[in-house]
């Protein structure tokens, strides 16, 4: 048997690429990541930073179709459609809506759950031996409501979470305002879920994971993969400047994965679901816990230097268009409505693309037509949480280790 290490190329250094890379190098492979923008700020950087096991229900749940007009036309609405791009993706959007039935949502939740279940522990395992460990913070989550009746209107999703064993703790108004100083008095009820967590500093977390990968002998090339060419014995990543040969390749390019993976049998339609964040720093609010505002579809996360990241919004039709400045105005307006006395010394804004599959499940595992090609993308709203588990699954698939969950629901050609 040859002593040569198995050579793997990974396309993309978002959380999927890094998680796959660390899992593979720790299993003795010779791993190279090709990333088109090493100091870029992809979805894995700009997200709300939640390691959220309870996020097992998709964005669309039964009745979504009736809520959409309100979301679109309300001045605080979290949903944007960008013209003319959205016209092209109308067939995708209409089909996407058909995944909001109770049966389909239950199917999605059942198969998101194993990817999210132990996210904090999985992240700690991933970060072990690297400086990234310091950025993982455990904390309960608080889901805010104006009153308990509104919470009960969301019972469908909450019952699913209950059925998967999440302990939902009712928090009444007085306790809520003690836990979240500065919160608007409009909010009088919350659900608390213990034992969750978030990433304190997303940029440093990703950077420290990459450093850990390099310390283990991992290589990183800054270039764009423009094609993947399979030969009988190996696989070639053709980049703008080079050609890199390896035994296997992992496509982990987030929303940009589609163009490379179609040729290898991936048939699950993918679209960009653009999101935004506004980060206020040096605020006068000392936020201790991540908060979810279901009305505004906003995740609110503590950040360094008394910072608060307000992340969310959903925009379709915009992979190529510029970020919408109105979205940042809306985030600021929402921040000020939730924390009426908020003041801040600094702010930053970000926008990026969630890789949204039509059925809200990611593509993970081997290509149906080439044994040397693997997929790790399409994680929608839950990619940060699911990254380490996905990386482990990919590594096991490549190394033919069958000791793992059933991958049928994530099959790249399931559509
Ligand atoms: C506003 C917002 C809030 C969110 N909040 C959360 C949250 O709190 N918790 C959670 O779990 N998830 C959250 N998500 C979702 C999560 O961020 C994504 O699912 C996840 O980051 C996707 O990771 P990825 O590695 O697949 O893609 P990305 O992070 O997009 O990384 C893909 C990488 O591939 C590179 N690349 C692309 N094409 C090529 C190419 N051809 N050659 C070389 N490199 C290439 C890109 O430059 C990029 O660095 C949120 C998303 C948004 C937008």
Domain boundaries, the chain: 58-100+138-196+272-356
Whether 277 contacts 199, CB under 8 Å: no
Cα(203)–Cα(38) distance, rounded to whole angstroms? 11
Q: Which atom of ligand 1 is nearest to the CA of 376?
A: 26
Atom of ligand 1 at shortest distance to CA of 257?
Answer: 38
Beta-bridge partners for 316? 81, 273
End-to-end CA separation in angstroms for the chain = 39
User: What's the pLDDT at 63?
Assistant: 85
Q: Tell me the Ramachandran region of residue 268: left when phi exceeds 0, alpha when psi lies from -120 to 50, beta otherwise.
A: beta
Cβ 384 under 6 angstroms from ligand 1: yes
Rounded distance between C-alpha atoms, residue 20 and residue 394, angstroms: 6
Q: Are 156 and 61 in contact (CB under 8 A)?
A: yes
Q: Which residue has the tokens 């450093």?
A: 211
User: How many other CB atoms are there within 10 angstroms of residue 371's CB atom?
Assistant: 14
Cβ(307) to ligand 1 under 6 A?
no
Give the per-residue pLDDT at 4: 86
| 388 within ligand 1 shell (Cβ under 6 A) | no
Sign (positive or negative) of CA dihedral 144, 148, 151, 156: positive
According to DSSP, the residues that pair with 298 across neighbouring strands are 293, 312
Q: What is the pLDDT of residue 237?
A: 98
Domain 58-100+138-196+272-356 listed as CATH 3.90.1300.10 = no
User: Which residue's C-alpha comes closest to atom 19 of ligand 1?
Assistant: 383
- Atom 39 of ligand 1, residue of closest alpha carbon: 253
Residue 83 is predicted with a pLDDT of 86
221 C-alpha to ligand 1 centroid (Å): 18
CB 93 within 8 A of CB 85: no
Q: Is the CB of 197 under 6 A from ligand 1?
A: no
Q: Which pLDDT score, from 0 to 100, does residue 165 have?
A: 97
Q: How is residue 400 written in tokens? A: 């033919």
pLDDT at 2: 57
52 C-beta closer than 6 A to ligand 1: yes
Q: Token digits for 397?
A: 């698939």
Query: 209, 126 in Cβ contact below 8 A?
Result: yes
Ligand 1 pocket: which of 16, 383, 389, 391 to mutate (most atoms within 8 A of CB) = 383
pLDDT, residue 187, reads 98
Evaluate: CB of 394 within 6 angstroms of ligand 1: no
Give yes or no for a contact between 100 and 60, defined as CB atoms under 8 angstroms apart. Answer: yes
Q: What CA–CA distance (Å, rounded) separates 303 from 45? A: 13
Q: Per-residue pLDDT tens for 67-98?
A: 777 777 777 778 888 888 888 899 999 999 99
- Distance separating alpha carbons of residues 99 and 72, to the nearest angstrom: 19
The pTM score is 0.97
> Could you report the per-residue pLDDT of 119-154, keeping only the tens digit for each?
999 999 999 999 999 999 999 999 999 999 999 999
Closest ligand 1 atom to 16 CA: 25
Q: Which residues of the chain have pLDDT under 50?
A: 1
The answer to whether 197 touches 137, Cβ cutoff 8 Å, is yes
Is the distance from the beta carbon of residue 43 to the nearest atom of ligand 1 less than 6 Å?
A: yes
Distance (angstroms) between ligand 1 centre and the Cα of 353 equals 7
CA 215 to chain centre: 26
pLDDT at position 70: 72
């Amino acid at each position: 048997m040859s002593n040569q290490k198995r050579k793997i190329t990974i396309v993309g250094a978002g959380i999927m690429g890094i998680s796959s890379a660390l899992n593979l190098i720790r299993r003795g492979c010779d791993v190279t990541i090709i990333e088109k923008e090493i100091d870029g700020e992809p979805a894995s950087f700009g997200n709300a930073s939640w390691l959220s096991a309870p996020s097992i229900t998709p964005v669309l749940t039964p009745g979504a179709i009736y809520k959409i007009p309100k979301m679109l036309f309300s001045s605080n609405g979290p949903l944007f459609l960008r013209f003319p791009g959205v016209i092209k993706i109308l067939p995708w959007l209409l089909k996407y809506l058909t995944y909001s039935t109770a049966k389909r949502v239950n199917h999605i939740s059942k198969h998101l759950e194993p990817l999210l279940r132990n996210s904090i522990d999985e992240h700690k395992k991933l970060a072990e031996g690297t400086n990234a460990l310091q950025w993982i913070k455990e904390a309960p989550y608080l889901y805010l409501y104006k009153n308990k009746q509104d919470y009960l209107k969301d019972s469908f999703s909450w019952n699913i979470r209950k059925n998967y064993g999440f302990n939902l703790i009712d928090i009444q108004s007085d306790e809520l305002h003690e836990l979240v100083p500065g919160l608007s008095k409009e909010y009088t009820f919350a659900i608390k879920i213990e034992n969750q967590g978030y990433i304190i500093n997303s940029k440093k977390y990703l950077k420290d994971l990459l450093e850990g990968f390099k310390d283990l002998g991992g290589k990183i090339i800054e270039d764009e993969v423009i094609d993947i060419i399979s030969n009988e014995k190996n696989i070639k990543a053709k980049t703008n400047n080079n050609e890199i040969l390896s035994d296997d390749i992992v496509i982990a390019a987030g929303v940009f994965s589609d163009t490379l993976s179609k040729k290898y049998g991936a048939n699950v339609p993918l679209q960009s679901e653009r999101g935004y964040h506004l980060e206020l720093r040096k605020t006068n609010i000392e936020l201790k816990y991540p908060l979810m505002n279901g009305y505004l579809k906003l995740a609110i996360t503590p950040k360094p230097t008394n910072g608060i990241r307000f992340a969310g919004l959903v925009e379709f039709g915009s992979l190529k268009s510029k970020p919408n400045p109105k979205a940042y105005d809306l985030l600021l307006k929402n921040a000020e409505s939730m924390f009426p006395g908020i003041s801040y010394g600094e702010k930053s804004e970000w926008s990026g693309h969630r890789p949204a599959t039509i059925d809200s499940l990611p593509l993970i595992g081997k290509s149906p037509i080439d044994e040397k090609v693997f997929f790790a993308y399409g994680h929608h709203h839950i990619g940060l949480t699911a990254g380490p588990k996905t990386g482990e699954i990919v590594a096991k698939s490549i190394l033919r280790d069958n000791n793992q969950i059933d991958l049928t629901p994530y099959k790249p050609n399931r559509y």
